[in-house]
Amino acid sequence: MLSIGPVTFDQPLLLAPIAGHCDLPFRVLCRELGGVGLASTDLLNCHSILRGSPRAMELAATDPRDEPLCMQLYGNDRDPLPEAARWAVDHGAAVIDINMGCPVDKVAKKNGGSLLLCDTDRTVRLAERIVRAVEPTGVPVTAKVRLGWDRSCIVAPHLARRLESVGIQAVTVHGRTTEQRFRGTVDLDGIGEVVAAVDAIPVIGNGDITEPHHATDMMRYTGCRGVMIGRGAMRTPWIFHRTDRLLRTGDPGPEPTFADKLQVIRRHLDLLVELRGEGAAVQCLNKRISWYGKTMGHIKPLKEAIRLATTADAIRDHLLDWMPDHTDCPSDCELWRPSASAASSTVPKSPAANGAAAQAASSRHATRQRRFTGTGQRFHPSSR
């Protein structure tokens, strides 16, 4: 359990605001798979949301399946961030997060993101204005930071302590500097120093979480109360489910089978079509299949087929062709039933076993021309 101000959630696991990837369909997918305590929107430009820019409205879109929701805002002390925070509260945000750590040029060049680490006095004054703007609503404000701009300018411990003093209710720390971007490895000692610097608010660790044990190791070593997962979720959105199980039982459970992963991709496609339309869905899966494929063994023909697909039905057909048991497709995905998954006696499949499944499916795909076109023969993951 983790609390940020008055907002409490059962799992101390947060889906990061992944620039360009953390849209509503993906957030709902991760929540359906289980284990997500809080999910965040993509980075929201304060000017764009106040103007009602169509792209900003798409990034901020939510629905009842997407709760509790954090909206992350970026800008600087000359921008209307307090007004944007009030807008976010009015449009469904349970938590407001200020981006103080993004190293991407389009954010930092506007004096937002990581550049806020370079003048901590101005940054603390900005945070106080945002806190005061939403204080009457009771919605907590948090901050996401890096350790500092570079190794000669480590400011996160001092900044976190000052942010707490003006009402920031939690701080997420990515354990690298801005100069590092995503190079090297996360500095757990640096995250631990931020934990030691604050009095009472939770510190959430972030960086290099690609397996369930990475999250528990980070929490144990640094003392952080929660973990935010970003890039690791893009290829394994079931990481929250398995990490939650590890935290609860000491066992992450089995790696999803090859068939399970195909089901997850299919469910992602269906959510994209439902929430963004077929054109956007196809374009998204054209790109995202390469991330999913990193965990699925030798599936180059499948990745290439989906990359070149132009309709949602074509993607569904390609996925169906690769189901390990093509004539007896499961009606739903076990990952959507955490209790059943936890009780399963199935022997966990190793990455090598997944690779073998992929090779077997590839062989069948090469020799089999038959396609199923009847809707009753397609696989339909449960929407739970």
| pLDDT by position in tens, the chain (length 384) | 899 999 999 999 999 998 888 999 999 999 999 999 999 999 999 999 999 999 999 999 999 999 999 999 998 888 999 999 999 999 999 999 999 866 555 555 554 555 787 789 999 999 999 999 999 999 999 999 999 887 888 999 999 999 999 999 999 999 988 778 778 889 999 999 999 999 999 999 999 999 999 999 999 999 999 999 999 999 999 999 999 999 999 999 999 999 999 999 999 999 999 999 999 999 999 999 999 999 999 999 999 999 999 999 999 999 999 988 643 444 444 554 433 333 332 323 344 445 555 555 545 444 333 332 222 222 233 333
What DSSP designation does 315 have? H
Residue 366's identity, in one-letter code, is A
pLDDT at 20: 84
Q: Please tell me whether residue 148 adopts helix, strand or coil conformation.
A: strand
Q: Are 37 and 13 in contact (CB under 8 A)?
A: yes
pTM: 0.83
Residue 220's identity, in one-letter code, is R
Q: Please tell me whether residue 19 adopts helix, strand or coil conformation.
A: coil
Q: What are phi and psi of 332, to 5 degrees?
A: -155, 175
DSSP H or E stretch at residue 39: strand 38-45
pLDDT at 112: 57
118 has catalytic annotation: no
pLDDT at 110: 53
Q: In 3D, which of 71, 53, 63 has the Cα closest to residue 25?
A: 63
Q: Which residues contact 344 (CB under 8 A, 6 or more apart)?
A: 253, 254, 334
Q: Which residues contact 218 (CB under 8 A, 6 or more apart)?
A: 186, 188, 191, 205, 209, 224, 227
Extract the runs of DSSP E, i.e. beta strands, from 199-319. 203-206, 226-229
Q: In 3D, which of 189, 181, 180, 173 has the Cα closest to residue 226?
A: 173
Q: Which of left, alpha, beta for 112 (phi over 0: left; psi -120 to 50: alpha)?
A: beta
Angstrom distance (rounded) from CA 315 to CA 42:
26
pLDDT at 313: 96
pLDDT at 321: 92
Per the residue annotation, which of 30, 46, 70, 102 is the catalytic one? 102
3-state helix, strand, coil in the chain (%, to 5): 50, 15, 40
Q: Are 178 and 146 in contact (CB under 8 A)?
A: yes
pLDDT at 150: 78
